[in-house]
Structure 1
Amino acid sequence: MQVKRFFAADMRTAMKLVRDELGADAAIIGNRKVAGGVELTAAIDYQMPAQPAKPNAALEAELRKTQAKIASAHAELSQREEGTVKDRQLFANESLIAPELPASMVAAVPVAKAQPAQAPAPVAAASDTRALDAMRSELNGLRELLEMQLGSFAWSQTQNMRPQQASLWRRLQRMGLPAELARRLLEKVAHVADARKSWRLVLAYLAQGIRTTEQEPLEEGGVIALVGPAGSGKTTTLAKLAARYVLKYGSQNIAIVSMDSFRIGAQEQLKTLGRILNVPVVQVDPGVSLVQTIAPLMKKRVVLIDTAGLPANDPALRLQLESLASRKINARNYLVLAATSQSQVLKAAYHGYKRCGLAGCILTKLDEAGSLGEILALAIGHQLPVAYVTDGPKIPDDIQLPKPHQLVSRAVSLQSDVEPSEDVMAEMFSGLYSGRRAG
C-alpha cells in the first residue's frame, strides 16, 4: 500500500493533486488544516474489508465517519470541560477553559457565565473563541471534502446510468451555466428519450426563464438611473440611450444628470455628449441633494442619471443608493452588468445595488464575452428583466432591445470548444451539494 501526504492552499486543489498523482482509485485516509492550507493523506491499493459490492458503500462509510466527528465536536464544545481536547484536529490544541480554573469548578460554573472580576475569564473567552473557530474551520474542510466525494460519485453514476443526461450536462457546462440552473433545466426533460429533442427543449426552457421589460424604458419615460460597478459600461450605455432618444424624438424633452464626481473626466465626457446632442447636462454638486438638483428637470419627458461605480464598503455608495430609492424622485434603476465579468463579481454587484430597488438590468459588452451562461443565470435566478443589451462601442448603433431566444442562441454560439474534464464535471456536481445557488 502506497501512502502519501499532499499539501495545498485549499481542499479542491489538494483533491486534484491526489487524483493527478495517485489516480481516481486513491482513498483519502486523513485530512487536517495546516499553516497555509490543508494536508490530505491518501493511499493507493488501500485494502477494504471484503463485502458485497455496493455502488455507495464507501460513500455511506464516509458519511457515518463525518457525522460521528461532527457529533463529537458539538458534544465537547457544549460541555466546555477542562483538560486536553481529545480531537486535536478539531480544536487545534487549544483548551476550552482557562488552565487557572480548578477542575472541580468546571461542571458547576460555565465559562460563559464567569464573573467579570475573575482574571482568567478573558483568557478563557479568547481560548474558547479560538477553539470554536478551529472547529468551524475543520468542519468546513470535512464538508468540502465530502462534497467533492459526493460530486465525483454522483457524476460517475450519471454517466453510467443516464448517458444522455450526462451529455446534456457537459453541453450546459460548456455554456457556463451553474450547476443549480442546469439541474432545474434537465429535470424538465428527464422523460424525453430523443437526444436532439431534449436539447431543443432545454434551450426553450432556458429562453422562457429570461424576462424582458414589457415596455422599452425610453418609451415609458420618467427618471431612469443606471447603476453598477466601475467598468461595467454605465456612461457609454447612457450615451447610447440619449442618442437613441434624440434621433427618434428630438432633444427638447430629455436631460442628463451626473452623480459621478469621483472618476476623472466623467463630467467632461457627459458635457461633450450634451453639446453634440444639444441636451442639458447637470452635475449633482456636493452638499446638494439629488432631489434638489433634479427638481427643475422634472418637466422633461426623460431624465437619464449616470452614477458613480463605487466600492461596496464606500459610505458614498450607501448615500447614492438611498437618494435613488427616494420616492420623491421615483426613479427606475437599472443594474448595468458587463458580460465579461466573473460570476462572483456579478453576484456581488447584484447584492450591492439591489438596495436601491432594481427595475431590471442592462447587459453590456456581449461582443467581448467568452460565455453568457453566468450573466444569464444571474438574470434568471433573481428574475431581473433585461431592458437592453449592448454589443459594441458605436453610439447609438450598438444597443438593442433583448429577445430571449436570441440571447440563448448567442450563448450557444459562445460555448467552449473544449470538452470539460472529469474533474470539472465532478466539481460542477459538488456545487449541488454545497448549497450554492445561481446568484
Structure 2
Amino acid sequence: MKFENTLTFARELDLHDALKAYRQQFHFPQVNGKDVIYFTGNSLGLQPKRTQKYVDDIMKDWRELAVEGHFHAEKPWWDYHERLAKPLAKVVGAKPQEVSVMNTLTVNLHFLMVSFYRPTQKRFKIICEEKAFPSDQYMLQSQVRFHGLDPSDAIVEVKKREGEHFWRTEDVLKTIDEVKDELALVLIGGVNYYNGQVFAMETITKAGKKAGAMVGWDLAHAVGNVELKLHDWDVDFAAWCSYKYMNSGPGNASGIFVNEKHLGKVDMPRFEGWWGNKKETRFQMKPMFEPIDTADAWQVSNPPVLSLAPYLASLELFDEVGMPALIQKQKKLTAYLEYILLEVGKEAGSVFEIITPEDRGCQLSVFLHGEGRALFDYLMKRGVIVDWREPNVIRLAPAPFYCSYEDIFRFGRILKEGILSK
C-alpha cells in the first residue's frame, strides 16, 4: 500500500479497520483535556473497561461468601487460574495443559531454571543475548553462582556486530555450534526490549535442541505481540509478564509454558508447593508431593485471584479477536508509523535512525540524531506517551487493540512541531 501523510488518509485507514471498535473498550489517560496518544503498550498496556467488573465480582464474592468463595463463587477461586489456560494457550501457540499463570516473570524464570538448568561438569554453559534485560542478567548470574560456577565462564553472550543495532541469526547459530559440547541452556528474550527485534525463535530452538541443550524463552515483549508456536517449535519452557501487550495491570501475574514432554514426571527437579499437587489429593494433606499432570505442577501457592481477574478480562478480548487479526493490524500500524517518521524527518530536517530491524512486532526504537531529551519531554507534555531509553532513543509501540492510524498521523504533526520549536 502507498501511504500518505494526511489526516484524510489516516482516517480512511481507520474507517476500514476491522478492529476499530475495540479502541472504545479501553480507558485512555488524558492530557490537556484530551485522550493521550499512547505508544507505550510495550511497557504497560491500557486498562480494558471490562476489567473493573471482573475485579468487582471477586470483591463481592469475598464480601458475601468469605472463605466459601473458594468453592461457591460464580468463578470459584480454587480453580480460577484454569480459566486462563485455554485462551492463553491460543496466544502462545500451546496446548492448554502446557500453560499456567502464577507469580511474576523473574520469579517464574528462577523456578523454571530449577527444572531446566541442570549443569554438569561437561555441560554447564548458558547462551543469551548481550545486554539482555537487566532482570534476566541478574537471574542468570545468580543461578550460575548458586551452582558454584563463575558467570564469566558459564554465561556466553551473543553480541551484535560492530556498528549494527541488531543481532544476526547466523551469529546466534554459530555461537551454539561453537559451545555445543558444553551447552546446557539457551535462554534469550524472544523480542528484545531495547530495539524491538524479534529473534528467529523456531530456528534458534531447533539449533539448541540439536546441540543437546534445553531451550527457553523470555517472552515479556513477545506475548500478545507476535506469532508464537511454542509447542510446535519444541520449546522446553518459556515465561512472560502479562502487563505489557496483555493489558492485565501493573506488575501483574506471569504466565509459563512447559512443553508437554516434561509434564507428569514425579522425578522432575522442581521447587514444589501444595497447589502443584494433584487436585484429587490436594486437600488430603499427604506428606509426599504428587504433581498435577499439567504446567500447574510448577505452582506453589493458591492463585492470587485479584491479580488474575484483570488478566482473564484481557484474555477474553484476545479470544474474541484472535492473534492473526491483531498481528495483521500491528504490521500495518507499524509500517505507517515508520513512513510517518521518515516523512517528518524530511520535512523537519532531522535524521531519525530506526534501529528496529524488519523482524519486529509493534515496536519501533528510534535514535534521535541531533535531538535530545527535550524532544521527548515536548511529546509527553503534548499528550504523546512514549518511552525514553539512554543514550538517545525513544521507543514507540502502537498496540493494535487501541491505537489508531489517526494517532500516528497526529503524532507526526506534534513531532514536527517539537523539532521546529527549538
TM category (shorter chain) comes to: 0.3 to 0.5
Structure of greater relative contact order (alpha carbons < 8 Å, 6+ residues apart): 2
TM-score, normalised via structure 2 length: 0.33
**Structure 1 or 2: more helix by fraction:** 1
